[in-house]
């Protein structure tokens, strides 16, 4: 019953917000750089979207292991991790080796509801044991025209490419 209602709400939302046009999608291309060090541990990484009041609306990805070090993804921890236990569990994935990864966002919030058009910011945060922490952020207009952004590489994150179709 819950699923049925949810689906109905979703269909209703979609029909109101994106009539007859192809659905907008945000594509996030991030890179975990190769880091030469004596003791390399894969970074803990979080990717999420905040609204213009700096409230998280959607956790997109979380690559991590032990809970002890979750707090070290500092902004993620404050905005989401410390209070959204179920969401954290649901989005948790394994840590990744260096390389380029592509993620996408469909404009839905964590509850699956479509968000209104407006300014949002995507965050990518990486924290590495015995290493550093990098935070990349890029604001964009959801519901606006096609956009493309790049953010320069940081010590723990390669160049970030954001595309809104």
Q: What is the contact surface with other proteins in residues (CB under 8 A)?
A: 66-71, 74-75, 77-78, 81-83, 85, 133, 135
Cβ(74)–Cβ(133) below 8 Å: yes
Nearest distance in Å: CB 134, other proteins: 11
Q: What is the DSSP string of 99-130?
A: EEEEEEE-SB-TTSPBPPSEEEEEEEEEE-TT
Least distance from other proteins to the Cβ atom of residue 153, Å: 19
Edge-to-edge strand list for the sheet holding 56-63: 92-93, 56-63, 44-50, 118-127, 133-142
Residue 69 CB, nearest approach to other proteins (Å): 7
- With respect to other proteins, which residue has the nearer C-beta, 69 or 101? 69
Q: C-beta of 118: minimal distance to other proteins in Å?
A: 22
Return d(Cα 163, Cα 157) in angstroms, integer. Answer: 18
Nearer to other proteins, 115 or 122 (CB): 122
Q: 30 or 70: whose CB is closer to other proteins?
A: 70
């Amino acid at each position: 019953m819950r699923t049925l209602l949810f689906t109905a709400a979703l269909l209703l939302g979609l029909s109101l917000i994106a009539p007859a046009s192809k659905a907008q999608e945000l594509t996030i291309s991030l890179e975990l750089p190769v880091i030469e060090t004596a003791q390399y541990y894969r970074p803990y990484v979080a990717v999420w979207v905040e609204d213009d009041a700096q409230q998280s609306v959607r956790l997109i990805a979380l690559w991590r292991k032990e809970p002890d070090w979750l707090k070290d993804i500092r902004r993620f921890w404050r905005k989401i991790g410390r209070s959204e236990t179920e969401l954290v569990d649901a989005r948790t994935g394994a840590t990744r080796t260096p390389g380029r990864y592509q993620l996408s966002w469909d404009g839905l919030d964590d509850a699956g509801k479509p968000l209104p058009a407006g300014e949002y910011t995507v965050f990518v945060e990486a924290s590495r044991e015995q290493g550093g922490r990098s935070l990349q952020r890029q604001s964009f207009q959801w519901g606006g025209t096609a956009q493309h952004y790049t953010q320069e590489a940081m010590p723990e994150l390669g160049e970030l490419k954001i595309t809104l179709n």
